[in-house]
Amino acid sequence: MIDLRSDTVTQPCSGMRTAMANAEVGDDVYGEDPTVNRLEALAADMTGMEAGLFCSSGTQSNLLALMSHCARGDEYIVGQQAHTYRYEAGGAAVLGSIQPQPLELEPDGTLDLGKVEGAVKPDDFHFAKTRLLCLENTQGGKVLPMAYIEDAEAFAREKGLKFHLDGARIFNAAVKLNITAKEITTRFDSVSVCLSKGLGAPVGSVLCAGRSLIEEARRWRKMLGGGMRQAGILAAAGIYALENNIERLEQDHDNAARLEKGLAGIDQLVIAPAPVRTNMVFVRVKSRDSELADFMEQKGIIIEKGDDLRLVTHLNVSSRDIDTVIAAFKEFYK
C-alpha cells in the first residue's frame, strides 16, 4: 500500500533493524547505555547544542522543554495551530501548570512579532509571567524564512524570553534550504527533533539544549515515566536515521512537488499554496470527497477521509508511487 497519511508510517529498513539488533546497551537511567549516550551526543552536535536527551516521543520532548523553561504560573506564546499547543493534549497546562497564549499563525507558518509583542504580559501580579516563545519548523510542511528566525531571536532576547523550537521536521527545513540544521537551531535555547517522522526510526525524539536545561528535563522525564532502561535498541535506530536518512529527504520534497504538479490540473481539487514546500501537499476536495478514500484504497493508496487532505511523502513512497497516485486521482475525477 502507498500510505500518504503521514511520514510517521515509515517502516524501519533492514539496515536500521540490524543496527538495532546489534546495539550495545546498558541501563540508561544509570546513564550507562552507550548507544543512548552516542545518540544524544550526535543529536546535540548536529543541532549545535551542549547536550541531548532521548525521549519517547516528540510530545514528551516538547513537554519536557516547556516544563524546564517555565515554572507553575508562567506562560508560553505559541501558534494556535502549533503542535505544542493544539496536538499535545494540553500537557503543558495539565502537567506543567503553564498557561498557553496561542496566537493565529500567518500563512507562511510564522508568528507575527507585532502580535507576539502585544501578547507579552506586563510585569504585574494580575498576569501570568510570559516566559517562552515557541516556534515550529517546518510548520505544516512550510519552512520558516531564516530572516524571520533571526528577527524572532532578536525579539525574544530583547524581551527576555526563552526561545524553543519544535523541530519535529527540522531536517526537512535544513535540506530544503541547503544548510545544516544547526544554522537554524543555534538561534534557539532548545530544540525538539523527531526521529520517527521522515527520518524513519520506529520511536523517539531528542531534546537538545544547554547542559543545565537538559539536566532539568532529565528530572521531569523520570517523573513522567520516561526513564528507559536498555533503550539503546531504540537509540540505535535513531543514530542510523541521523546518519543515513537526512540527505534523502530531498527525494520526498521532489516527490511532493511532483504530486502537486500532477494534481494541479484536476478541477475538483484546490491545492493550498506554500511558499517553501517540503514533504506535504494540502488539498481541498471540492466534490465526491466521501467516496474518494474508498476508491483510493482499492487502488492500494491510503489517504485520510474528508475534504481536507494532507498528503505526505516519505521514504516508503517512490516517484513511481507518486505517478500511481496522480493516475488514481485522475481516474476518479475523469
Ligand X SMILES: *Cc1c(COP(=O)(O)O)cnc(C)c1O
Positions touching ligand X (CB under 6 A) are 57-59, 62, 83, 136, 166, 168, 194, 196-197, 205
Bin 214: left if φ > 0, else alpha if -120 < ψ < 50, else beta. Answer: alpha
Which one, 142 or 197, has the nearer CB to ligand X? Answer: 197
Which one, 40 or 136, has the nearer CB to ligand X? Answer: 136
Spell out the residues 6+ positions from residue 238 whose beta carbon is closer than 8 angstroms to its own: 39, 43, 54, 195, 199, 201, 204, 206
- Closest distance between ligand X and the C-beta of residue 173, in Å? 11
Give the residue among 192, 202, 198, 208 at the shortest CA–CA distance from 238.
202
DSSP label at residue 80? T
- Closest distance between ligand X and the C-beta of residue 50, in Å? 22
Q: How far apart are CA 182 and CA 283, in angstroms?
A: 32
- Closest distance between ligand X and the C-beta of residue 57, in Å? 3
- Closest distance between ligand X and the C-beta of residue 326, in Å? 25
Spell out the residues 6+ positions from residue 303 whose beta carbon is closer than 8 angstroms to its own: 4, 5, 292, 293, 296, 309, 311
Which one, 205 or 329, has the nearer CB to ligand X? Answer: 205
- Closest distance between ligand X and the C-beta of residue 137, in Å? 9
Look up residue 160 and give its three cell numbers.
527576555
Which one, 194 or 208, has the nearer CB to ligand X? Answer: 194
In contact, 259 and 324? CB cutoff 8 Å: no
- Closest distance between ligand X and the C-beta of residue 207, in Å? 11
Which one, 90 or 160, has the nearer CB to ligand X? Answer: 90
Which one, 36 or 194, has the nearer CB to ligand X? Answer: 194
- Closest distance between ligand X and the C-beta of residue 262, in Å? 25
Distances (CA, A) of 214 to 52, 53, 61, 209, 284: 7, 7, 11, 6, 41
Which one, 12 or 58, has the nearer CB to ligand X? Answer: 58
3-class SS at 267? coil
- Closest distance between ligand X and the C-beta of residue 78, in Å? 11
3-class SS at 53? strand
Look up residue 99 and give its three cell numbers.
498557561
Which one, 7 or 74, has the nearer CB to ligand X? Answer: 7
In contact, 120 and 161? CB cutoff 8 Å: yes
In contact, 142 and 109? CB cutoff 8 Å: yes
Give the residue among 6, 11, 10, 1 at the shortest CA–CA distance from 302.
1
For ligand X, which residue has the nearest CB?
58
How open is the CA angle 143-145-151, to the nearest 5 degrees? 135
